[in-house]
Amino acid sequence: MAKVLAEDKHLRGPITYEPNLLPSKRKIDFVADRLRDNLYVEVKTVHPETADTEEAWDDYLRLREHHPEHADFIVHKDWMGGKLYGNTFASRSKFLDYTKAFEERLAEAKKVKDGPGILVFCGNGARWQRSNLEDFADFYHAGKHRQDDPFALMEKHDMERRKLELLRNVDHFACLRRPMEQAPMQDIYYPVRGPSFGGVIK
């Protein structure tokens, strides 16, 4: 991500890694001085590792009962279905938790100097797909889940159970894909948003 920022010709001011900016002494990964404001970039790797076990498949069978009627997540047991579902399910939870944590630091940073915040999620393209982040990003920005989001009802229930309230001050999400055993990235998508069809659950 540092390379992406350094090569951005629109960023002409200094870019600092984990600067001492916040009164609380907490850190934001990258802060780019754009003179009129700052650009705040937080980078998180989401890399769950669900084993392909009978238990993982049973979890899928149990959790799919909580999908919306008009949305499903189809996998096959013999084709690592429990593993694929488990990784995607765990990733969605990480999207929410990392976003909530970044929101608090971003709110503090914007009081020091205003500017947009970007949360970049890194993965290898196998444990979760960009479309999974699209569902979460659309929910985050709209305040309502998409009709084609299989995790909509479970996420809503989880947030109500934990009494989570989102600040919704993260301006954009990005998806950076690279093999975990390699340093160079394959590609980056920004900003991440879902397709226009799908709408939201009323």
* pLDDT at residue 195 in the model: 78
pTM of the entire predicted model: 0.90
Q: Tell me the per-residue pLDDT of 16-56, one tens digit each, with 9 for 90 and over.
A: 999 999 999 999 999 999 999 999 999 999 999 999 999 99
Does the residue 13 lie in any domain?
yes
* pLDDT at residue 202 in the model: 45
Q: Tell me the per-residue pLDDT of 82-116, one tens digit each, with 9 for 90 and over.
A: 999 999 999 999 999 999 999 999 999 999 999 99
**% of the chain residues with pLDDT over 70:** 95
* pLDDT at residue 199 in the model: 56
The band of 200, judged by pLDDT with boundaries at 50, 70 and 90, is low
Which residue range is the domain that position 123 belongs to?
Answer: 2-46+93-189
* pLDDT at residue 198 in the model: 54
Does the residue 31 lie in any domain?
yes
Between the two ends of the chain, the Cα-to-Cα distance in Å is: 37
Average pLDDT along the chain: 92
DSSP structural state of residue 121: E
Does the residue 180 lie in any domain?
yes
Does the residue 70 lie in any domain?
no
In this predicted structure, the answer to whether residue 163 has a pLDDT above a threshold of 50 is: yes
The band of 126, judged by pLDDT with boundaries at 50, 70 and 90, is confident
Which CATH number do you get for residue 111? Answer: 3.40.1350
The two structure tokens encoding residue 53: 């076990």
Does the residue 195 lie in any domain?
no
The structural domain count of the chain equals 1
* pLDDT at residue 20 in the model: 96
* pLDDT at residue 197 in the model: 62
